[in-house]
Amino acid sequence: MSDSPIITDSFKRQSLGFFPTPFHYLANFSEVLGGPKIFIKRDDLSGLAFGGNKTRKLEYLLAEALNNGCDCIITAGAVQSNHCRQTAAAAALLKLPCHLLLGGEKPQTVNGNLLLDYLLGSKIYWQGEHRKGEGIPDLVSLLTQQGHKPYVVPYGGSNEVGALGFVNALQELQHQLVNTPISHIVFASSSGATHAGLLVGKALLQQSYQLIGINIDKDEDAKKPFKQVIVDLANQTASFLGKDCRFELDSIDLLEGFTGQGYGVLGSAEQEAISLLAKSEGILLDPVYTGRAMAGLIDLVRSEQLPASANVLFWHTGGNPALFAYADKFTEW
Ligand SMILES: Cc1ncc(COP(=O)(O)O)c(C=O)c1O
């Protein structure tokens, strides 16, 4: 394997965070689980307004916005969207006004990510039952009529530009794995570019670890099965990079059995995962994504699908501010 960058300088990247994020062993947590060795990659420490996986995507997306001469940013998400909070922070840093289309109505208590969205200066538009950017075309028209040139960051930052952040992330990890052969990487998967970028990065770096995405969002209205979304995005990303690797549905590990009562609903499995990691390592997970993904990892260890001989990396993708919006939902103290 060559050590030369798999993403060349012709793909513009705007620095927004602090990389490499830490990689370390979870000795206490591994002991508590009593199975494989568990390691962690700390994208919760990426630095942009409490960090998270979206920093990596936004470095490429907002570089494109600047390159295209755009003068404002639009994106969308749920009321406690980490993606929207990170986009608002990145836009503030780049002195670009940020417009956020959020699902639901303005809640009585403004907390968690929503509090940060306001503090970061974004303009918020409440969208009722639509949390996936259905209202974006109308806002683009309005802002364009007013003489602006908006840049639309896609839902979750997931397109072939955003996915570059996670192609690059595996090369970053490569330098941290010198004496640690990892057999599995487990992470939360939702809009797809984290998973797609990791697939492309793994193929280009010729690695043999198994990528296990935990689907955290059971979207029954989706037009396309989520696994197909990931495959298509991985293929688009490879083409965008000018690489000829191709991906098929059966080469993708996406576990669908951990979506509980639906998107953002905190169940006992997530509560246990958050509590176990907090009490054994002093590391916080979030209620929507990483808590659910870690619940998946714990289940795979207990059912011995992750054998004791494995070296498992959990990719912490951030999201911690949402914890504060769920204070009254935790039942175990
Ligand atoms: C904390 C966190 N983890 C994981 C994900 C999933 O990443 P992706 O949307 O690239 O699948 C998200 C997406 O919003 C997130 O906020």
Range of the domain at 102: 54-157
Give the C-alpha distances (Å, rounded to integers) separating 87 from 120, 208, 257: 10, 33, 30
Mean pLDDT of the chain: 95
pLDDT at 219: 74
- Which burial class, exposed, middle or buried, applies to 43 when counting CB atoms under 10 A from its CB (0-12, 13-18, 19+)? buried
Check whether residue 253 and residue 129 sit in a common domain.
no
pLDDT at 332: 66
CATH number at residue 286: 3.40.50.1100
Arithmetic mean of pLDDT, 187-215: 97
Check whether residue 316 and residue 301 sit in a common domain.
yes
Name the domain boundary from 157, 187, 218. Answer: 157
Atom of ligand 1 nearest to the CA of 286: 1
pLDDT at 179: 86
Q: Which residues contact 76 (CB under 8 A, 6 or more apart)?
A: 84, 100, 101, 102, 127, 131, 132, 133, 134, 135, 136, 155
| pLDDT of residue 2 exceeding 90 | no
Arithmetic mean of pLDDT, 123-143: 93
Check whether residue 59 and residue 126 sit in a common domain.
yes
Tens digit of each residue's pLDDT (9 = 90 or more) over 261-302:
999 999 999 999 999 999 999 999 999 999 999 999 999 999
The residue type of 317 is T
* Contact between residue 186 and residue 41 where contact means Cβ atoms under 8 Å apart: no
pTM: 0.97
pLDDT at 129: 87
User: What confidence category does residue 333 fall into, taking pLDDT thresholds of 50, 70 and 90?
Assistant: low
Would you please indicate which residues are annotated as catalytic (active-site) residues? 81
Arithmetic mean of pLDDT, 62-74: 98
Check whether residue 210 and residue 317 sit in a common domain.
yes
In a domain, 201, yes or no: yes
The percent helix, strand, coil of the chain (3-state, each to 5) is 45, 15, 40
Check whether residue 287 and residue 317 sit in a common domain.
yes
Check whether residue 282 and residue 219 sit in a common domain.
yes
Domains contained in the chain, number: 2
Check whether residue 96 and residue 229 sit in a common domain.
no
Using the mean position of ligand 1's atoms as its centre, give its distance from the Cα of residue 67 in Å: 25
* Contact between residue 310 and residue 183 where contact means Cβ atoms under 8 Å apart: yes
77-86, 220-229, 312-321: lowest mean pLDDT where? 220-229
Arithmetic mean of pLDDT, 247-263: 93
* Cβ of 158 below 6 Å from ligand 1: yes
pLDDT at 114: 98
Name the domain boundary from 113, 129, 157. Answer: 157
pLDDT at 331: 81
Using the mean position of ligand 1's atoms as its centre, give its distance from the Cα of residue 157 in Å: 9
Using the mean position of ligand 1's atoms as its centre, give its distance from the Cα of residue 241 in Å: 22
